[in-house]
Structure 1
Amino acid sequence: MSEPVSPVRVEVLTQLQAHGIVSEYITYPRVTFSSASRLCVRHSPPGDSSRQSLTLLDPRASPKEDQAPPNWTLHHVQGALANPSCPLLAVRAGQLAQVYDVDQRSLRYQWEFAHPIEYWVWLNADILAVVTEEDVFHWTVKRSGPSWQFSRHERLCGMEVVGYQRDASHMWMALSALGLEQFHVVELGPHQPGNAALLSARDTLPFKGTQLGDFPSAVQFLPHLGVVVILTKHAFLFLADVETAQTIHRIHLVLDILFATVLDDERPHSLLGVCRSGKVLSISICPYALCQYISHHPTSLCLSQRVLQLVGQIPAPQKAISVE
């Protein structure tokens, strides 16, 4: 019996250089994703390195020669993040966070935190999650100020925060941080009376044969499939079972540096990522192919049952598109 094909599908959506972005500015953290349709780049216009600008792009839209994407001149900004669905743009510098109205080009909200901001992400159109050196806050920007959620775990001290997520029930949060040798995800949430303690699972990623010095740089969760997507700096993708932490599949997406990933809210089981070369990739997991792959490489019974149940509820898969 022949080996099943990879359940991972990859497609190139656009090239950032075609939108007027110079290659030297396609780096982390100058490029940020807040949703599949909102990519934000801090850069200098071609031929004018003295002026700093911020450009908003829809990676699915084709570049127009007669119409430049919206951009703004910046001064002393360390980070910028577009709202996932509203015409709002958040910028930060040190301990100060500001939110601007994109259409009116005016300052709407601002707040100065007690400690420097290290990471932030829009949880939805209204709430901006802010991670400082000491604490994590949720800021409903249309209200008076941020609300404290929890203090950072001591194990994350000195590490670079690379992700923060909240579940649909708004009861559990996951703060991900990257250290020199380890990748930690600390789960925080309420313990209900009578419940057993949280179960913890761990496994080792098979890095044999990858690029020298490669390391995990992003983690995304696909709850309907019950898998974790782990992406590395050199564009290796690992699929792991969320319950057992067992690695299901590994694939090298492209010979490039991959960063700035976000879940694709317009396509199921998909995410987007930006490469150092300027490519914007659409990466999707095909449940049909995953089911076939698991049947040849059995992992956990629960995962197999979840995927089999899901396959019966979705339309037939589309033809795969390869990346050159």
Structure 2
Amino acid sequence: MNDNTPIKVLEYGRLQDYDVNPSRIGFKWVTMESEKFICICEKNRLLIIDRSESNNLIQRPFKVDAAIMHPRSKIVALRDRRELQIYNLYLNYKVKTYIMHEDIVFWKWVNVKKLCVITENSVYHWLLDGISSPKKIFDRNLEMKNCDEIINYHVDAEEKWMLIVGVKVLNGNILGTIQLHKKETNKDNIIKGHAATFTSLKMEHGIYPTKFFIYSVRNQDSSKLHIIEIDHKEENPVIAEKAVDVFYSSENVNDFPISIQVSKKYYIIFLLTKNGYIQLFDLETGMCIYVSRVSPTTIFTSVPEEIDGGIVGVNRSGQILSIDIDETNIVTYILDNLNDRSLAIRLAKRNDLPGIEDICSDDTDISGEIIL
């Protein structure tokens, strides 16, 4: 990236550097549950790149269909059709095993204590306590059962809301469907969308954090990013729903959103598309900050970088990429290219960034810092 852009894109190596078979570089075999580990499930072995320990490589002779690392610890979940195993890599010890009565189609760590398991019909949560069995949380809607593949699952911080994202190929088009489930009412909403997540932000004049459901969809009529407040608290200001345009170039008629990550450091939405583009949006206003192609191939798995406030992912070429906010440029970029003084000031004050010194010395009515 050149010096005038608000992001930095860095390559931290390639999976081929670890002798990974190129045929195994894809969504089914390469997983990331956090920035700490990259897990690669090959035919006769399991490879784990520990990014927290100078990319140390861990190998085990496991023959399983799939594997995902715990977000924080050297604990790995192994799956072979209906059988689930939790394995402690520190002790080389199998912690627990469970056999589901249905085939498993998707799974993901909900948090450091809980694993989500999605079968052909239902969604389960499995506690990492050594004794519990998977507990059914809700059933998949009929429209979700018609999806060809489940590609993501999220819960909000309080586990009051859950969502499943599925896709279906129809006449060469990729159609996305989201099942949004509310635990308290046991009700579902079915939404057309390709990517979604939850997040929260403590707004100015707000007593409690404001919770958001965010999703994006591309169809023949429009391409939108939706930012919707959920579980509104009366003590907080009401946040109107936003539906903002998502840009796709005329050369990328078949492109669509595949991932949404939210930086809890900057409160900027990172939207990745199938063709390797990234779009940045301000969470509070929905303002589109920046659009650029950052990868020649699909970044098929990505997670937030908690400390740096960016994201890290792996593309189909095997590149391990990080996409971070360039703190030296982003405020001046917003001022020069978007002419949005309010956003520039808010971002600079919230993160102690350079770029507003001249503005603040001239203006006497600047306020509105977001309280974190």
Under a length normalisation based on structure 2, what TM-score does the superposition of the two structures give? 0.68
Task: Determine if contact 2:87/2:95 at 8 Å carries over to the other structure.
Answer: yes
Counterpart Cα distance in 1 of 2:233 and 2:299 = 44
Residue identity (%): 23
1:152 corresponds to 2:192: no
1:242 corresponds to 2:283: yes
Q: CA deviation at 1:199?
A: 5.8
Q: How does 1:260-275 map to 2 (within 5 A)?
A: 260-265=301-306, 267-275=307-315
Counterpart Cα distance in 1 of 2:180 and 2:285 = 16
When you count strand as a share of all residues, which structure comes out higher?
A: 2
Q: How does 1:94-173 map to 2 (within 5 A)?
A: 94-142=81-129, 143-159=131-147, 160-173=149-162
1:256 corresponds to 2:297: yes
Q: What does residue 92 of structure 1 align with?
A: 79
Counterpart Cα distance in 1 of 2:347 and 2:110 = 27
Q: What does residue 325 of structure 2 align with?
A: 285
Q: CA deviation at 1:29?
A: 1.4
Q: CA deviation at 1:62?
A: 5.3
Task: Determine if contact 1:117/1:132 at 8 Å carries over to the other structure.
Answer: yes
Q: CA deviation at 1:154?
A: 4.8
Q: Is the alpha carbon distance of 1:63 and 1:304 closer, same or farther for their aligned partners in structure 2, counting shifts above 3 Å?
A: closer
Equivalent residue pairs, number: 299
For residues 44-103 of structure 1, give each alpha carbon's deviation from its aligned partner in whole angstroms, at most 9, with x where no partner exists: 5xxxxxxx2111112465578xxxx3222233x221001122221111133332111223
Give the letter for the 1:272 counterpart. Answer: V
Q: Is the alpha carbon distance of 1:208 and 1:189 closer, same or farther for their aligned partners in structure 2, counting shifts above 3 Å?
A: farther
Counterpart Cα distance in 2 of 1:255 and 1:300 = 33
Give the letter for the 2:37 counterpart. Answer: R
1:177 corresponds to 2:166: yes
Q: What does residue 78 of structure 1 align with?
A: 65
Q: CA deviation at 1:226?
A: 2.9
Counterpart Cα distance in 2 of 1:206 and 1:131 = 32
Counterpart Cα distance in 1 of 2:54 and 2:151 = 30
For residues 124-153 of structure 1, give each alpha carbon's deviation from its aligned partner in whole angstroms, at most 9, with x where no partner exists: 332112223333222112141223333334
Q: Is the alpha carbon distance of 1:34 and 1:207 closer, same or farther for their aligned partners in structure 2, counting shifts above 3 Å?
A: same
Q: Which stretches in structure 2 are left out of the alignment for 5+ residues?
A: 169-173, 185-229, 356-372
Counterpart Cα distance in 2 of 1:117 and 1:27 = 18
CA RMSD of aligned residues (A): 3.4
Secondary structure of residue in 2 paired with 1:202: strand
Q: Is the alpha carbon distance of 1:246 and 1:97 closer, same or farther for their aligned partners in structure 2, counting shifts above 3 Å?
A: farther
Q: Is the alpha carbon distance of 1:18 and 1:185 closer, same or farther for their aligned partners in structure 2, counting shifts above 3 Å?
A: same
For residues 25-60 of structure 1, give each alpha carbon's deviation from its aligned partner in whole angstroms, at most 9, with x where no partner exists: 22221111122121111125xxxxxxx211111246
Give the letter for the 1:57 counterpart. Answer: I
Q: What does residue 186 of structure 1 align with?
A: 180
Counterpart Cα distance in 1 of 2:269 and 2:95 = 37
Task: Determine if contact 1:84/1:125 at 8 Å carries over to the other structure.
Answer: yes
Q: Is the alpha carbon distance of 1:210 and 1:121 closer, same or farther for their aligned partners in structure 2, counting shifts above 3 Å?
A: farther
Counterpart Cα distance in 2 of 1:220 and 1:257 = 16
Give the letter for the 1:13 counterpart. Answer: Y
Counterpart Cα distance in 2 of 1:210 and 1:183 = 25
For residues 268-319 of structure 1, give each alpha carbon's deviation from its aligned partner in whole angstroms, at most 9, with x where no partner exists: 3121111222210111123553333333326796x5565243232x699xxx
Q: How does 1:194-209 map to 2 (within 5 A)?
A: 200-209=241-250
Give the letter for the 1:136 counterpart. Answer: V
Deviates more, 1:246-255 or 1:206-215: 206-215
Q: Is the alpha carbon distance of 1:62 and 1:277 closer, same or farther for their aligned partners in structure 2, counting shifts above 3 Å?
A: farther
Secondary structure of residue in 2 paired with 1:207: coil
Give the letter for the 1:259 counterpart. Answer: F
Counterpart Cα distance in 2 of 1:194 and 1:122 = 28
Question: Which one has more relative contact order, counting CA pairs under 8 Å at least 6 apart?
Answer: 1
Deviates more, 1:230-239 or 1:87-96: 87-96
Task: Determine if contact 1:236/1:252 at 8 Å carries over to the other structure.
Answer: yes
Q: Is the alpha carbon distance of 1:26 and 1:169 closer, same or farther for their aligned partners in structure 2, counting shifts above 3 Å?
A: same
Secondary structure of residue in 2 paired with 1:256: coil
Counterpart Cα distance in 2 of 1:170 and 1:29 = 26
Under a length normalisation based on structure 1, what TM-score does the superposition of the two structures give? 0.77
Secondary structure of residue in 2 paired with 1:281: strand
Q: What does residue 42 of structure 1 align with?
A: 41
Counterpart Cα distance in 2 of 1:178 and 1:63 = 33
Of residues 50, 59, 76 in structure 2, which corresponds to 1:58? Answer: 50
Counterpart Cα distance in 1 of 2:333 and 2:141 = 37
Secondary structure of residue in 1 paired with 2:111: coil
Counterpart Cα distance in 1 of 2:297 and 2:232 = 49
Give the letter for the 1:167 counterpart. Answer: D
Counterpart Cα distance in 1 of 2:312 and 2:261 = 11
